[in-house]
Amino acid sequence: MLTRRLIVCLDVKGNRVVKGTQFVGLRDVGDPVELAERYEREGADEIVFLDISASAEERSTLLEVARRTAERLFIPLTIGGGVRTATDVALALRSGADKVSINSAAVQRPELLTEASARFGAQCVVASIDAKEVDGIWRVFTHGGRTPTTLDAITWAKECVARGAGEILLTSIDRDGARTGYNLPLTQAVADAVAVPVIASGGAGNAEHVVDAIQRGHADAALVAGILHDGVTTVAALKQCMRDARLLVREAA
């Protein structure tokens, strides 16, 4: 059995962690470094930092925040936002990130995935896909969910893997922050279409949703955010529910 991961996402804007619904209505929830340390202590398997406004505002990703966080973390750290070139990927990795998430820039120039994978290895390259249902099709959106594209999410996921992505971070914009459960049909469709790990994102409201993402959505990992930031549940409680469902999970250090 493969170990199933619980990943905590910290959406960062202006050096603060924020959370909203469907990428809008953002509210401040804390300091990114402090929160990352806290969730590691509680048993999170990985931390993801996403600078949710970097691409839209053409800012570099939060290298300094990544550096300060990486100095204190022992679990893998992924950062994304504003990554536009292989050099940006290199800078992120040198700042201490284990993986780099690429979204908007990959859509604009898919060769970036190939270049990054060739230079640093597929294990460092995460293709981040934000999808929303439009006229019965899961369409890819870029720039923090602001810009629609004509890309089909499943087809795009397969292309990302073919170009060198070692992992897919799949976010349902429709479910983001709603806490009604992950988009299981979307997650399963993408997970069944690619041969790399898929992280389910968008919609976690309780531990059962996390289990569903893995058992029914065929995801390799589940990403959570708001329910932890707001104290609805804890990492420990989520992982215990995963164990109760007979999923193999890493024990906290």
Point out the residues that are catalytic.
Answer: 11, 130
- Please give the Cα distance from 232 to 226 (Å, whole number): 8
Q: Are 60 and 100 spatial neighbours (Cβ–Cβ below 8 Å)?
A: no
Place of tokens 């996402």: 9
> What's the per-residue H, E or C state across 211-236?
HHHHHCCCCCEEEECHHHHCCCCCHH
- Please give the Cα distance from 5 to 239 (Å, whole number): 9
- Please give the Cα distance from 44 to 46 (Å, whole number): 6
Place of tokens 């399963």: 188
Helix axes of 235-244 and 207-215: crossing angle, nearest 10 degrees: 50
